[in-house]
Amino acid sequence: MDGPFAELTHADCIERSEALVEAVAARAADTEAARRIPDETMDAVRAAGLLHAMVPRRYGGPGLGLRTVCEISRVLARGCPSTSWVVGFLVEHNWQFARFPEQCQDEILGPAGVLTASAQLQPSGRMAPAEGGYVVSGRWAFCSAALHSDWAILAGIERGEVGGERGAALVFIVPMSDVTVDDDWHTAGMRGTGSVTLVADEVFVPAHRTVGFLDFAGEANPGTRIHPEPIVGYPLGPSLAVFASSVAVGAAERTVELFREQLGSRVLFATAGDTPSSRPRSQARLADAAVALRSAQLLWADALDVLCTHGDAGTRLTVEQRAWVRLLAGKTVLAARDAIATVCDGAGASVYYERSPIQRFQRDVETMKGHVVFDTDRSTVSYGQAALGLPLTDPF
């Protein structure tokens, strides 16, 4: 099948993302105030074809991989982390959907050519068996991109017909028209993501729109039987962690760049026009921020290389490698946070005006680091156990 963006390349995606950054940055304050991505931004993203990047070739997409969505997110984050987060997840959720059964993909993605979906894989739904499928109820918090989606990929626990005993965890997809939005996204940072809570009340889900959670998350998911692209077989958890950390890298890159510009333009209080660029401590602070940024970039690049080397070759990561990738992703965000904090500690009070992008970058990355995929309290222990050949107490 040929789609309008079937020939889109990795280089095209980066070039088109870079072309959007200036406008994305100009709308960042409005994005935050509205707590959603402006229509003008989403229209430009669609016109650039970015949402199609990970659509498999079977359905008319270019079938691009993890490096592409990570670079799209890193570039867009230089303008607005919230915008980057939402666009990146809309792109990446086409990859998640490519792991569903063939009938489901043919039904939804075949006619549409691209999926716009939110996703929350915490299995907090209750799924009661019904004729031809399940009746689902539940609440799913942190549903990024829900305000720009037609579908929602969610997860729940199957309940037995007799006595309501717990069964397997399942992932399913429902139209947004079947769920309601609890607009509870009032946060210190990442405000523009509109990561609201979705609520389902006795919603019917056909059986063919469901897939076992373990099958969905694994390298041998149903999508690998119909799609030749290696990305479809990448492990879910480590891939999500590395992808999401891309936003923090882009935010830190732009913050350090802004600091370097500011050092030559900000006039120090109680001086005859001196700028920080003439002060050794400011010069050293720029160096410290640059090192922290480089640490974030290298951690991120290493995690991406490990995933892509194995994923593209069709080999599975070991337990230790999976734990290592998850650890690197969390440490990437902490290093990016440190780079931004180093800047803010020496950039003066003016960066805390609402008009300054630096304070927004700081709040966004501080908020971002709370995401479950960046939980280094868990990932550090998991890696230590895996490296020592011990059973993981927390295999998440």
Residue 5 covered by a domain: no
Domain endpoint, select from 96, 114, 132 = 114
Residue 267's pLDDT is 58
For residues 194 and 251, membership in a common domain is answered with no
| Tokens describing residue 170 | 């399942």
For residues 249 and 332, membership in a common domain is answered with yes
Instruction: Return the CATH number at 318.
Output: 1.20.140.10
Domain endpoint, select from 185, 216, 247 = 216
Residue 272's pLDDT is 62
Residue 162's pLDDT is 43
Please provide the distance, in angstroms rounded to a whole number, between the alpha carbons at the two ends of the chain.
Answer: 37
For residues 242 and 192, membership in a common domain is answered with no
For residues 245 and 374, membership in a common domain is answered with yes
Residue 223 covered by a domain: no
Which letter, b or e, does each residue of 229-244 get, where b requires 16 or more Cβ atoms within 10 Å of its Cβ? bbbbbbbbbbbbbbbb
Query: How does strand 151-159 pair with strand 196-206?
Result: unpaired
- What is the DSSP code (8-state) at residue 5? T
For residues 166 and 304, membership in a common domain is answered with no
For residues 155 and 83, membership in a common domain is answered with no
Residue 370 covered by a domain: yes
For residues 46 and 122, membership in a common domain is answered with no
DSSP per residue, 309-353:
HHHHHTPPPPHHHHHHHHHHHHHHHHHHHHHHHHHHHHS-GGGGS
Residue 394 covered by a domain: no
Query: How does strand 166-175 pair with strand 133-143?
Result: unpaired
Residue 269's pLDDT is 65
Instruction: Return the CATH number at 38.
Output: 1.10.540.10
Q: Which domain holds residue 252?
A: 234-387
For residues 211 and 261, membership in a common domain is answered with no
**Tally of CB atoms within 10 A around 111:** 8
Q: Exposed (0-12), middle (13-18) or buried (19+): which is 154, by Cβ within 10 Å?
A: buried
Domain endpoint, select from 85, 114, 143 = 114
Instruction: Return the CATH number at 187.
Output: 2.40.110.10
Q: Note down pLDDT in tens along the chain; length 396 residues.
A: 688 999 999 999 999 999 999 999 999 999 999 999 999 999 999 999 999 999 999 999 999 999 999 999 999 999 999 999 999 999 999 999 999 999 999 999 999 999 999 999 999 999 999 999 999 999 999 999 999 999 999 999 998 654 455 689 999 999 999 999 999 999 999 999 999 999 999 999 999 999 999 999 999 999 999 999 999 999 999 999 999 999 999 999 999 999 998 876 675 666 766 767 778 888 899 999 999 999 999 999 999 999 999 999 999 999 999 999 999 999 999 999 999 999 999 888 888 999 999 999 999 999 999 999 999 999 999 999 999 999 999 876
Strand order through the sheet with 151-159? 180-182, 196-206, 133-143, 117-130, 151-159, 166-175, 210-212
For residues 169 and 242, membership in a common domain is answered with no
Residue 371 covered by a domain: yes
Residue 349's pLDDT is 86
Residue 383 covered by a domain: yes
For residues 261 and 368, membership in a common domain is answered with yes
For residues 29 and 69, membership in a common domain is answered with yes
Residue 135 covered by a domain: yes
Residue of 363, 50, 73 whose CA lies nearest to 245: 73
| Tokens describing residue 45 | 């993203």
Interatomic CA distance for residues 15 and 282, integer angstroms: 34
Residue 396 covered by a domain: no
For residues 252 and 383, membership in a common domain is answered with yes
Total tally of structural domains belonging to the chain: 3
